[in-house]
Chain A
Amino acid sequence: MSTIQARQRIELLQGTLDLLILRTLLRGPVHGHAIAKAIEFNSDDVLQVEQGSLYPALHRLIKRQWISVEEGVSENNRRAKFYRLTAKGRRQLAVETSKWDKLAGAIARILRPAEQERKS
């Protein structure tokens, strides 16, 4: 990857990765690598997750019972762990999403007060 590309990529805020994982799992159970790919792909490669950091996050979510683990077979025909959103995780996703919207809105209003006024 070129340096310019690397600079345009954004480090994830603490706790944001959890939110992204929950959102990714909303479409059904997938394994670890697929989660990383989905986050990169859906953010047009702007969000570059250091793939390893996915695993502590996944285990945090398992511990909170927001996701569950099941056995499955990956596309390279290996036994793999598939992560599935639980009912509790689904509720949490709604809470976290609305929190994120509030945060993003608040920061946007602070950074661009003029634009907000023009809109309203």
Chain B
Amino acid sequence: MSRRKRILDDLDQDIRNHIEIETQDNIERGMPPEEARRAALLKFGNVSRVKEETREVWSLVWLEQLLQDIRYGLRVLRKSPAFTAVVVLTLALGIGANTAIFSLIDAVMLRSLPVQSPKDLVVMKWDARHSPDVHGYMNSGDCPTDMRIGATNPSGCSFSEPLFREIADANMFSGVVAFANSGRLNLSGNGPARVISGQVASGDFFRALGVNAALGRIFVPGDDSPSAAPLAAPLN
């Protein structure tokens, strides 16, 4: 690119110089200066067309050089097939792994949840510097981390039911729901019974998330009391 620019930069000067010498020659042959210059220009031809054609010579140089480089690269790679195979395999595995991980993250974390306003949802957990100092039964909620007496930094812990009721009654949020893994459940009805994994959720769960039942009605507060009637609600 720089070579091209350097060479073309002086083209104007070169052409001016050329016409001047021709003019001078004509004058020395006895032409009056005016006519000498006109004759020189006539002999040179169309100046702007010449400039244009000269620039065109260089216009695709970068592309030609790129193709040359590509051809050279391919030739070198063909000379050492083992190296080429290792490189291609490494790249393929790297790209493949990245794609797989991204697809997973995309599905699990980036795709918005199928609820009314996903961006307003928050998950509440509690952390502490030390595990609560309790004897026997402890009802602070479960922690995925170490909860033995005196352990430090319990984190990501869930709330116990009394604490959940406190938060729900405080009216800080438009809706507060609780859920917990129920483990395996037995689903029976028409046809053979099946084992499914389920969640235990508070009665307000679907209403707070803004999800409606496809058939019948969703759970409402009160359905989670011991006296409530059994209810099934398919969601989609």
Q: A residues within 8 Å of B by Cβ?
A: 31-33, 36, 50-53, 55-56, 59-60, 62-63, 69, 74-76, 78-81
Contact = CB atoms under 8 A, between A and B. Distances in A.
A79 B16 CA distance: 11
Contacts of B49: 52
Interface in B18-51: 18, 20-22, 24, 43-47, 49-51
B57 interface: yes
Contact of A32 (B18, B24, B46, B61): B18
Nearest to B4: A63
B14 to A, nearest CB: 5
Given A32-B14, A33-B18, A78-B20, A51 B54 contact: no
21 contacts: A32-B14, A32-B18, A33-B18, A33-B21, A36-B18, A50-B43, A51-B22, A51-B45, A52-B15, A52-B45, A55-B53, A56-B57, A59-B57, A60-B57, A63-B57, A63-B61, A74-B21, A75-B21, A76-B24, A78-B20, A79-B13
Top 4 A-B pairs, shortest CB-CB distance: A52-B45, A52-B50, A56-B53, A59-B57
A55 B13 CA distance: 12
B54 A59 contact: yes
Contacts of A81: 10, 14
A55 B20 contact: no
A74 B54 contact: no
A52 B46 contact: yes
Interface string B129-171: 0000000000000000000000000000000000000000000
A80 B11 CA distance: 10
Task: Please report whether the interface of chain B is mostly helix, strand, loop or mixed according to DSSP.
Answer: helix
Given A56-B50, A81-B10, A51 B58 contact: no
B199 interface: no
B116 interface: no
A56 B7 contact: no
A53 B10 contact: no
B143 to A, nearest CB: 74
A60 B45 CA distance: 19
A50 B43 CA distance: 6
Contacts of A62: 7
Contacts of B120: none
A33 B61 contact: no
Contact of B54 (A36, A55, A75, A76): A55
A53 B56 CA distance: 13
Interface string B187-227: 00000000000000000000000000000000000000000
B98 interface: no
